[in-house]
Structure 1
Amino acid sequence: MNGSAIAASGLRKAYKDKVVLDGVDLDVRTGTIFALLGPNGAGKTTTVNVLTTLLTPDAGKAVVAGHDVATETRAVRAAIGVTGQFASVDDLLTGEENLLMMADLLHLPKAEGRRVAARLLDRFDLVEAAREPAASYSGGMRRKLDLAMTLAGEPQIIFLDEPTTGLDPRSRRTMWEIIRELVADGRTIFLTTQYLEEADQLADRVAVLDQGRLVAEGTPAELKRRVPGSHIRLRFADRYELDVAGRILPEATRDDDNLTLRVPGDGGVRSLRALLARLDEHSVDVEELSVHTPDLDDVFLALTGHGNKEIDAR
């Protein structure tokens, strides 16, 4: 799918003398997953609140689903769904009743509301627990029910604010699969997360926000290439092979205890082939080889190393 689901330019927001957003530009393509990362106080939640019409920016413009967030709030709200960091289900109601309540809030006819509830309970594997109170649900079940309630209105764009916070690894991966399915259905996901692996696994594009400004944007692979530290680790069978390889590769860092060499490189196939060719010319056998590249943790720390000094309740 083509076009922008979310487009923002020059977004600014301040509270008295504290600037929270300082000229933020965003372009989220339709049918993709866009992840916004940043330390506490960076302005992530404020950005989401502006894009979902909960806050009015002091300056700049944002268009969501083709509608201006400042002047067409009703149209924006009709096109989006928002799932917050904490599941907003009613613990006194059953899973089914929570979905029917959401259908009522959306003014769906009774029969249609029941069809929607049944379909979502089935899709999120909650049929067996449908008539149990939500208070008895596990964390993963509550998050699935919360997302199901968000989908009751068939939103084109879904904002997920830290959707897997507090979930165990299995529940987290289940949620990832659900998110991928939503995008496969044509929806657009705007994701904020503190789990950098989550952004790496899910996002088509990632933006890093720090102190109200975007400091980097690109695919996960593009961002990783911006951070130095890629290397190839070679392990040898004995000290003789290590010595020979060390003379051939003087740029490498040597570890005699582990019989390894750490060779700087970009992690690419071409450089790896060239390295192995140099060793083959001298008949040096490599016992074990591994390629190490920076992950999003390294990117995050390199770009926002000072950011976690501030804690922002927003």
Structure 2
Amino acid sequence: MDTDSIFVPPEHAQEIIDYFQPLNPYNLDIDLLKPEKEDMWSYGISSKRYALYTYENEEIKFMEGERSFKLHGLGHLTNPFPKAVDDWQAEIWEDILKLHYGIIKPTDIEEKYSSLFAVSRLTVSTSNVLKRFKKINEGQPWSRQIKPFNFCNVGFQVIEDDGKPIKPLAPFSNDPPKIAYEPFIDYNTGEIKQGVEYFKSLNRTILQYADHPEYKYEGNIGQMKRRHIHADSVVLIGKEANNIDDQPLDIYQAQVFINKQEIMDKIMQLDVEMGRTVGIAYRGTLKRIQDKIKQTGDINLNARFMRELADKLM
């Protein structure tokens, strides 16, 4: 079930449609619910990753005039073969289904997509992103510089230098896979680097996509049960849409709001041994913190030590 759709046994579809029709809020005589798909196969990887299709004589067909496969987890990618394939997502989904039916093997996926790379398009909408193009812009005439609200391309990190992830950032190209063979900027350092080894291959992306686990339900295949969740704490965060333009770079984490009173209550419950497990090495340090809470009813979460302590107690 989704926010705007639900799967039911076909023989009960019309009965359910008729049952809910009196809830129609419109003056027009239109169906509140309507049957959508019949006589089609459904292949589901996980929530929001599924396709509806027909399958006969090893031939896979999607619905005509309507996209009957979901792009969740693929929609952020640019067309890996811009001059050869128009509906490239359909081709990837067809290969995933061929893999399922044994028509092709994982090695065929690797052979077809290993020379292509997972690349996204990003708008230069913040000063943080624009600053990274400083070295590339140096010495270039204004017309050739990367400017605010231009597009750029982003690769996906696969290796690290000195323990730090390399995040490829490059000027926009109408042929995105080519950026893997040209100089790019490491978003974290601003350094110019080059090499295909820094880019995630598309075959790896596709195979991981096809093997994506289902987090909302228990089980691996077939009919699954909804997963039961028991919350042991609550953390308030900012909206998911905050800084959404920068999310492909993974440079902004969700904003977290700390419940100061809850942290102080947990500190007051600590004994010496428990304090050591969260980084308070000395009895005297714990006593001073607890005494201050008793006297002032407050703690300074801007102090680095207290911030780290709060993170461990959350």
TM-score band, normalised by shorter chain: under 0.3
Q: Normalization by structure 2: what TM-score?
A: 0.24
Structure showing the higher strand proportion among its residues: 1
Q: Which has the larger radius of gyration?
A: 2
Q: Normalization by structure 1: what TM-score?
A: 0.24
Q: Which has the higher contact order (CA 8 A, sep 6+)?
A: 1
